[in-house]
Amino acid sequence: MFKKVLIANRGEIAVRVARTLREMDVSPVAVYSEADRDALHVRVADEAYEIGPAPAAESYLRVERLIDVARRSGCDALHPGYGFLSENPALPEACEAAGITFIGPPASAMRAMGLKTAAREKMAAAGVPVVPGGGAGTLDEARATAARIGYPVMLKATAGGGGKGMRLVQAAAELEAALDRARSEARKSFGDETVYIEKAILKPRHVEIQVLGDRQGNVVHLFERDCSIQRRHQKVVEETPCPAIDDETVRKMGELAVKGAQAVGYFSAGTFEFLLAEDQSFYFLEMNTRLQVEHPITELVTGIDLVREMVRIANGEALGYGQSDVVRRGAAIECRIYAEDPATGFLPSPGVIHTLRTPSGPGVRDDGGAYAGCTISSYYDPLVSKLSTWAPTRALALARMRRALGEYVVGGIRTNLAFHERLMTQPEFAAGRYDTGFIDRHKDELLSAASGHEPSKEQLASALAALAHHRAVSSQPAAPAANGHALAPWVHAHRARLGRASRGGA
């Protein structure tokens, strides 16, 4: 097994990866930009190294700096997390050249699935259903494609993701202007203005299948996640099981995802994304060749630690189980807690968190990257944490989420907590009747309630308790790390345990 792993990321995902590494007795090494000098992921690592200024292009996106840190710190492997360079084949290629194991899929699979048009062709050849579509290299070609498949159509950036470079076109008269806008946004976001056209599936659900594969060619799926609650094509809430899918469709979708992964020689964790129509027909969208933000809910219902599996697979180990061994129990839901203000169109709300009180109790998991006194930077995605709940039934999982949201207190910045609270009590959502356009259709109802939210008695009590605790511990000095940063107490406990083990102690 690896001795040291460089986590080439920041925030909550870096903290989450470090936790599993520590459980495996692997030493986590962090990197940070100038803006992240005091970030939580720096504090929980055994070592941390600065890699450049705040802008990601000058720090977290610099492959050569990451490899240099991995070499200097003696890391034998690297985990990319998600975002940043996690789907850039240049990173696994640089790792291979440096003799460092990349904890993720091969660069060849990344390249095969990285461009959406090429991925569509490969999946179609493998028998995976794809949305009817075609090229849009010129306006004439775009018109011909749209006329062939019929309006409405969706323009999509070939190299894109996260909703960038996407435009819905309802009629031929709208096509030219929409094509110009989609190209411009794609060029600014990805440095590639190429777009293509797909048939627009009306009122779809966004359903994805989690897959795991080893280097020996074994691949399994870990069921589906429903990611239909989106704002501007960005996921906001995810749950599993999908409340609108039948078991037979899940089986078919899972089998096709496994087949698609095998077709490109895929290993490690990955996700196949599909559009699910109301008649249970489904179509391949894209494959994410990395760990997903919403992976905790799959872990909660299957009991499988996806980061641990990624590490094992990278180490050359076989999965050791087949599809029949993967069992799902209960239901789970995740809310992404962002530093943003719903009342101002979800504008980011960077700043210092003065008070932080996270929920706990049965079936509650909070994957966070913040602490009281830390700064949410304007340079990066304003995700504070991912709050997940699990229960034997969907109804109880929702009830636990409502309770957990009521306990969550963040002071000093604005968040979308009230928006989530309102969403969890919205009758149609509670009944599982939603699609990708749900938030847009109900935005007045959801945002007016969120902007006028007043803290509950429970939240006020939690805030006072958190403030008292923060004041009590803030006066206690923390031991410095080797790089001069304060370390969390559990890091010292872990080091002490390793020291006892090395001396032959218990």
Q: In angstroms, rounded to a whole number, what is the distance separating the alpha carbons of residues 52 and 68? A: 12
- Distance, CA of 340 to CA of 418 (rounded, Å): 11
Burial class (CB in 10 A: 0-12, 13-18, 19+), 50: middle
Selected catalytic residue, list 290, 365, 394, 414: 290
State the SS3 of 170-222. Answer: CCHHHHHHHHHHHHHHHHHHHCCCCEEEEECCCCCEEEEEEEEECCCCCEEEE
H/E element, 36: none
Q: Report the relative pairing of strands 205-213 and 219-231 from DSSP bridges.
A: antiparallel
Is 290 considered catalytic here?
yes
Q: How far is CA 224 from CA 13, 99, 353, 392, in A?
A: 21, 35, 35, 17
Largest CA distance in the chain: 77
With beta carbons less than 8 A apart as the criterion, state whether 220 and 319 touch: yes
Q: Which spans in 191-305 are helix H?
A: 247-263, 295-302
C-alpha to C-alpha distance for 57 and 85, rounded to whole angstroms: 11
**Cβ contact 333:237 at 8 Å:** yes
Instruction: Give ∠ CA 47-53-56 in degrees, rounded to 5.
Output: 90
The dihedrals phi and psi of 447, each to the nearest 5 degrees, come to: -80, -35
Residue 358: which of 346, 370, 373 has the closest Cα?
A: 370
How many CB atoms neighbour CB 201 within 10 A? Answer: 21
What 3-state DSSP class applies to 486? Answer: strand
The residues that are catalytic are: 290
